[in-house]
Structure 1
Amino acid sequence: MIRVLVVDDELLVRTGLRTILEAAGDIAVTGEAGDGDEAVSAATRLRPHVVLLDVRMPGRDGLRAATEIARLPDPPKVIILTTFDLDDYVHRALRAGAVGFLLKDTPPREIAAAVRTVAAGDAMLSPSVTRRLIGTFVERRPDQSEQARERLGLLTEREHEVIVAVGRGLSNAEIGRDLAMSEATVKGHVSRVLAKLGLANRVQAAILVHHAGLL
């Protein structure tokens, strides 16, 4: 059972997300929080697998909460809940370790699928959303491009192909089909690439690929 913490300052939103997730059968909402302080406390106490975290909240906002949650031992995966006027600090949530984004009007089935995806340590969810966020908020400067290409130079040719596919927002299964590898082999490559480059998750890998000018 996947344990989820739902964080939003609107009770109606939290109630709707709880209803959607618990109807999935393999997901349990183990707690709710209405602001960033409550989110950090609940994440510490309840040890969820996934946190659905709103960005705009009174008091400690979702960004600061995401940063604190990322510092926990064996931290949960954080999915940012956002409206699509695009919160102007979402890129900082990427740097804080968020692994995915959900629009608040995402269809219920896709919300449950997103939770399963990140809980399994798999691909970024909603690739088009993630690519748009990265393209909008993650500035690519010439010095960053050179540094990013140098870092990617540490990889083997196959690892390079895999990380570029990750940057495109592909799942392990999709990468496997494109590169003629089993899903398990892709997962192994992704893990090794993240470790070799000192990256926390696939979103950070996508940012690096973006900085290198490979998307």
Structure 2
Amino acid sequence: MQAPVTPAGSVSTGETPLQRPPVAISSPPSAATTTRRRLLVSAGGLLLAAAAGNNNAASRGAAAAAVDLGYDPVTEAERAASAAVSQRVGEAVRLLEAGRELQARGEFAGALASFTAVVSGYKELALSEYARVGRALVLYEIGDRDESITEMEDVSVALKGYPEIHAALAAALYADKHAPLLAEFQFNIATLLDPHYSDLAYVRDTKHWPPSLVASLKNFITLT
């Protein structure tokens, strides 16, 4: 006779069976909780904005304090150098204007001295090239015409497109160098830029050219 079979589920092993922990089912947040969270977020944003505003105010305050203290980004050395340059420019302009006034009055020796002073003493300034124009015109009247023409040729390169020097060079090349083609080339440049240079009255009464240069321009225009 067989012994009765005990069901597997009823066999005791002496161990406590494992139990699954209970699953917590979260309930949706209440309206009060949601409102509280929104208030916290808003408060945090306000705090950040306030901090940024304080930083900006501090920066503006520092800038205002710097102005009140007389802060100047330009150093004393830079200011002194600028003043020295301004002084030299003013001196050169006065000499240049004096030369032109003397030229207009027919005082060519004095005009030559003023123009030469600018050319020799203020070479670093661009306006010295305009003094060279005046010097070349006056030299044509009372100095060496070859030196005058050489000066005109140099300045016509340095101030290319300055009509007065091209017109003066045209007159001198035609009358003194007997180079009509070169003279025509220079005169075309001058009159394209300023047609007034084909008018003898303009160069005589407005530009105050010396009489000898006016005569040379007349010879060129009339081909005599």
TM-score range, shorter-chain basis? under 0.3
Q: Which has the higher strand share?
A: 1
Q: Which has the higher contact order (CA 8 A, sep 6+)?
A: 1
TM superposition score normalised by structure 1: 0.27
